[in-house]
Amino acid sequence: MTKVYGSGDTRVVALDRVSIAFREAEFTAIMGPSGCGKSTLMHCAAGLDSPTSGSVRVGTTELSTLGDRQLTQLRRDRIGFVFQAFNLLPTLTALENITLPTAIAGRRPDRQWLDHVISMVGLTERLGHRPAQLSGGQQQRVAVARALASRPAIVFGDEPTGNLDSRAGAEVLGFLRDSVRELGQTVVMVTHDPVAAGYADRVVFLSDGRLVDEMTRPTPGRVLDLMRRLPGGNPDHCAEPASGARPPHAG
């Protein structure tokens, strides 16, 4: 797919003939320099934006064939989101925030599945707390549980650990990793952090709107080395692994 913004002198090609598949039960990280098209790729893949040309499919569903209401329903039922800003409603408890999407849809959550997700992210003792009573890491756990609660086909994370310290970030990344291993979840995460990318099964690299490389079983060191070689790569803000925050492939 291709995504173009503006025209004439202001024309910007954000995605240039990108073809990519996110496989079931796999954790993929999307990386690249600032302005390379990472967020645009995620927004198009998640149905939050539409490509200028090309197509996007979730399973066998072609997004361009859906009307606004159908697209809203698909995002609600088949896609989960975890953002850098936790996006929790301050007046709701943790449990109410987790179950909000299913409540809006007028459905009851699958209680067995919900209990399993809540247990996995370690929130069993915090369900009655409001966001202001939770730490940043706990709030992001609520956001992860909310994304998983509807058993979506795919979960997208946009810098999900960007507002967390290294230890809380490692916990959240571990939960996303566990959702792939234990629940068969598909997770796609945009990140600039080689440590976060080390939790993924695969890392894809963008530069100037194009896919330029791919890595399986990534480690922070290998990711950092490759990032340094990309045009416009800026490794200065890429963290090295902190104690207690080493991803599973780091050894």
**Domain ranges within the chain, ordered by starting residue:** 3-237
Q: What are the tokens at 226?
A: 């490759």
- From the number of C-beta atoms within 10 Å of its C-beta (0-12, 13-18, 19+), residue 127 rates as middle
Q: What are the tokens at 139?
A: 């709030």
Where the chain has pLDDT below 70, the residues are 232-251
Cβ atoms 22, 186 nearer than 8 A: yes
Alpha helices by DSSP H, listed for the chain, are 38-45, 68-78, 94-104, 111-120, 136-149, 166-183, 194-197, 220-229
**Residue from 229, 159, 230, 231 nearest 195 by CA:** 159
- Return the pLDDT at 237: 43
Which CATH number applies to 3-237? Answer: 3.40.50.300
Report in angstroms the alpha-carbon separations of 20 from 17, 73, 216: 10, 24, 15
**Residue from 156, 172, 165 nearest 121 by CA:** 172
**What is the C-alpha separation between 12 and 207, in angstroms, rounded?**
14
- Return the pLDDT at 233: 60
Place of tokens 């999307």: 30
Q: What are the tokens at 219?
A: 């480690």
pTM of the predicted protein model: 0.87
- Return the pLDDT at 239: 42
